[in-house]
Structure 1
Amino acid sequence: MTFSTAVFLAWVVAFIFGIAIREYLKALIADRLGDKRPRSQGRLTLNPTAHHHGLGLVLAFMASVGYPVITWGKPVEVNTNALRGGRGSTTLVSAVGILANLLLGWLIWLAASPYIRNAKSTDLLANFLSGLVLVNFLLFAFDLLPIPPLDGYYFIKGLLPAQWDVKLQSYETYGTLILVIVVLFIPFLFGIFSSRGGNPIFDFIINPIVRAVCGLFGIPLG
């Protein structure tokens, strides 16, 4: 196995299972709070096939080979009226989604840091483990964006008065389209009109959040 293969596998594994674990935890919390919709839709499982869609998997592989994109999973559908606690519980489910990858990345770092810190820069296992940590932090940062169906949006929505729901319906209708524009078309246009290439969403939002998280947990970058 080469260095590039180890990094590629780390990113693929982290994207596929990081998203699956996050969506499973959201489904589990919603189920415990009284909403049986996720259970009826087969979301109470860690099987990644229950939590991914075709576009998300394509984006995961694109990101793993170096394209400046990121991916998201199939959102867990939550029925606010079925939850004990109503809107407050909806906010809790979203908060679990937001924090899941942050905590997962941190736990992987706690377990693997003694090995990573003492490994050479070319060590395949160390680079694989570092990739798992980094991708989970990337997923956390991306999930903070207030764009449906990301958890950052539903967390904020849950804090707003119920009368805002009608006003936000049209925004939710186009949420996936907005995400596609943010993830695919913005970096494409940026690559055409800027010599730097890359993705400004990463440069100005996601990467600074990841750097802040790494600084908080004392994780060296580079």
Structure 2
Amino acid sequence: MFFSVLLDDPVLFLRVVIIVILSVTLHELAHGFVAVTQGDDTPEKSGHLTLNPVVHMGWESIIFLCVAGIAWGQMPVNPSNFRIPKLSNILVSAAGPFLNLSLGLLFIGLMRIMADSSQELFSLEFFYLAARINLILFLFNLLPIPPLDGFHVLSEIIPGLKPLQNSPFGFFAMMVLFLLPGFGAGLAMIADVAIARLSGLPLM
């Protein structure tokens, strides 16, 4: 369990929790802000245009993050309010993953700047971990599996897939992915290679 990291490496535990909470919160905010630009005021009316992670994740997600290393969030939107339903839904769905991609690239840039830093919390290793987590979130959320953002984008392009949104397919597909040996390691490897290429620094 991820909680054991707290005993073995409390600094790493704190870093992961901080990065994931920040990344998930900003991911959900990106969905919300783009939804507002597309004519839906649901995020604003529901009080979700806030930096409070509890609003976006809930205590259950935060506790599960600390125990198992897995977290989730949500942003209420009403697609019926979108000005251009198909395009708006694609933009809103893609906003979250691409926010994580932007964060990943930002942290890679900070890695280049902070390469010689020796700070305990915000060191080169911290920015590497932040970039890695955000690139993994970007890759994972673009998978075309409900309820992930990638499925919402794909189902707008291929409307025949929409019935799968409320079917057990997504649950079973996610279970298979999490049980698949090497799935998480594969996403991490892609992120590591991307960071090394873009930062010019060796793999960590």
| Residue equivalent to 1:192 | none
Q: Is 1:207 the equivalent of 2:188?
A: yes
| Residue equivalent to 2:108 | 109
| Residue equivalent to 1:220 | 202
* Displacement of 1:212: 4.2
SS of 1:118's equivalent? Answer: coil
After superposition, residues 183-194 of structure 1 pair within 5 angstroms as 183=178, 186=179
Q: 1:60 to 1:141 in 2, by over 3 A?
A: farther
CA distance in 1, matches of 2:73, 2:177: 16
SS of 1:99's equivalent? Answer: helix
| Residue equivalent to 2:4 | none
Query: Could you tell me whether the CA contact under 8 Å between 2:101 and 2:138 is conserved in 1?
Result: yes
Q: Is 1:125 the equivalent of 2:122?
A: yes
Query: Could you tell me whether the CA contact under 8 Å between 1:27 and 1:43 is conserved in 2?
Result: yes
TM norm structure 2: 0.80
What root-mean-square deviation, in Å, do the aligned CA atoms of Structure 1 and Structure 2 show? 2.8
Q: 1:213 to 1:55 in 2, by over 3 A?
A: farther
Q: What amino acid is aligned across from residue 207 of structure 1 in structure 2?
A: A
* Displacement of 1:177: 6.4
**What per-residue deviation string (whole Å, max 9, x for no partner) do you get for residues 124-169 of structure 1?**
53133332222222222221222222211111112223x543x324
| Residue equivalent to 1:194 | none
Query: Could you tell me whether the CA contact under 8 Å between 2:131 and 2:195 is conserved in 1?
Result: no
Q: Is 1:175 the equivalent of 2:175?
A: no
| Residue equivalent to 1:137 | 135
TM norm structure 1: 0.75
Query: Could you tell me whether the CA contact under 8 Å between 1:83 and 1:90 is conserved in 2?
Result: yes
| Residue equivalent to 1:51 | 56
CA distance in 1, matches of 2:90, 2:154: 8
For structure 2, the 5+ residue unaligned runs are 1-6
* Displacement of 1:10: 1.2
Query: Could you tell me whether the CA contact under 8 Å between 2:146 and 2:152 is conserved in 1?
Result: yes
| Residue equivalent to 1:159 | 157
* Displacement of 1:16: 0.5
CA distance in 2, matches of 1:118, 1:175: 44
* Displacement of 1:77: 3.1
| Residue equivalent to 1:16 | 21
* Displacement of 1:107: 1.1
| Residue equivalent to 2:76 | 77
Query: Could you tell me whether the CA contact under 8 Å between 2:132 and 2:188 is conserved in 1?
Result: no
Higher relative contact order (CA 8 A, sep 6+): 1
Greater displacement, 89-98 / 3-12: 3-12
Q: What amino acid is aligned across from residue 213 of structure 1 in structure 2?
A: A
Q: Pick from 45, 53, 60: which aligns with 2:65?
A: 60
* Displacement of 1:203: 2.9
* Displacement of 1:119: 4.2
What's the % identity of the aligned pairs?
29
CA distance in 1, matches of 2:145, 2:99: 18
CA distance in 1, matches of 2:47, 2:174: 25
Q: 1:179 to 1:53 in 2, by over 3 A?
A: farther
